[in-house]
Amino acid sequence: MVLRDIKKDSPTWAWERSTEHGKAWAQQWRILQTRRKCAGTRGGAQQGHKRNVDFGFSPESDVPLVISYADVEAAAQRLRGVAHRTPVLTSRTVNSATRAELFFKCENLQRMGAFKFRGAYNALAHFTPEQRTRGVLAFSSGNHAQAIALSARLLEMPAVIVMPKDAPALKITATRGYGAEVVLYDRYTEDREALSARIAAERGMTLIPPYDHPHVMAGQGTAAKELFDDVGTLDLLFVCVGGGGLISGCAVATRALAPQCEVIGVEPEAGNDVQQSFRRGEIVHIDVPRTIADGAQTQHPGKLTFPVIRELVHDVVTVGDAALVRTMRFFAERMKLVVEPTGCLGAAAVLEGTVPVQGKRVGVIVSGGNIDLARYAQLLTHGLS
């Protein structure tokens, strides 16, 4: 990914031009391009610079990474006393079955029911007084919508959320309940980013995307920071993947706190855009995936998240919807937890044996628990039929 590939008026384009962090990131990119030209080859450019402490660099692409562990630490300070420090739960049953030691970071018990609150609040806490007066706009299938709506209410600013018409009714209702205005669109025929950019421009609001934003990424990384603070070092960390905000933040925290730990991303089989991108070394776009994991129905990783994933993530694997249902049932029956399908991705990869874990200490981010009760009961009782 290079800066000229960023579409004008996209959230990333606006961030790069309107924030000090964004301007510094762009400056680092331009310096690298100059060095590359002087060196004459990609390899020469690689040898011509050292790793930048503040940003970090992706060795494969020479693209500066937009967050560092210092950003995660700063986010943790902003979230102190605001976000829940969610519990880490264990299960003798699953430890016996996998012959490993598993630690579940239960973000389904976070405020508004998902990890998304961390990134949303951290992003809005950076707003200037003028931005707070004009308000925030976001697009989301549900959890980011609720997170932005709740954070905006806590910080006393207006919020508009662009949501797909087929988003879970519970998530639409909750978003409105937090005081946000909801604008619905058809995810299969309309471009949510273009619609959101137009509304933001018309109303003078600040657009906060669901994952491709440094303050969002840093906020999400605090989940992994808390996990390592509570349980110590790990061998593997499983993280669900949509657009990459959670896994990129968690990967940065992992590199700082447990550099030997391998971060494994998990996607639904029907929506493996990040896995394809990871394998090819470039961002791959796919059609809107049809999966029960509505929080992972992304079409491509972010231009800011992908360089972090490519450098710091060990692998990206997939699990099927049937496996997600079985994992939902496990959480309900054995751990008495309500977990939405997307929140089951990481655990499903472990429980289904997608990645060998025997003899290892394993962390799993349980990302959220927002699901309509009727749909939840249907899936537990009848599965996908």
Catalytic residue numbers, as ranges: 116, 141, 267, 271, 273, 367
d(CA 368, CA 45): 42
Q: CA 53 → CA 2, 219, 220, 256, 351, distances in Å?
A: 21, 19, 20, 12, 37
| Beta partners for residue 363, in sequence order | 103, 237
| Beta partners for residue 318, in sequence order | 267
138: phi then psi, degrees, rounded to nearest 5: -145, 155
d(CA 176, CA 343): 22
Q: Which amino acid is at 43?
A: G
Q: CA 174 → CA 93, 156, 210, 224, 254, distances in Å?
A: 34, 17, 17, 26, 32
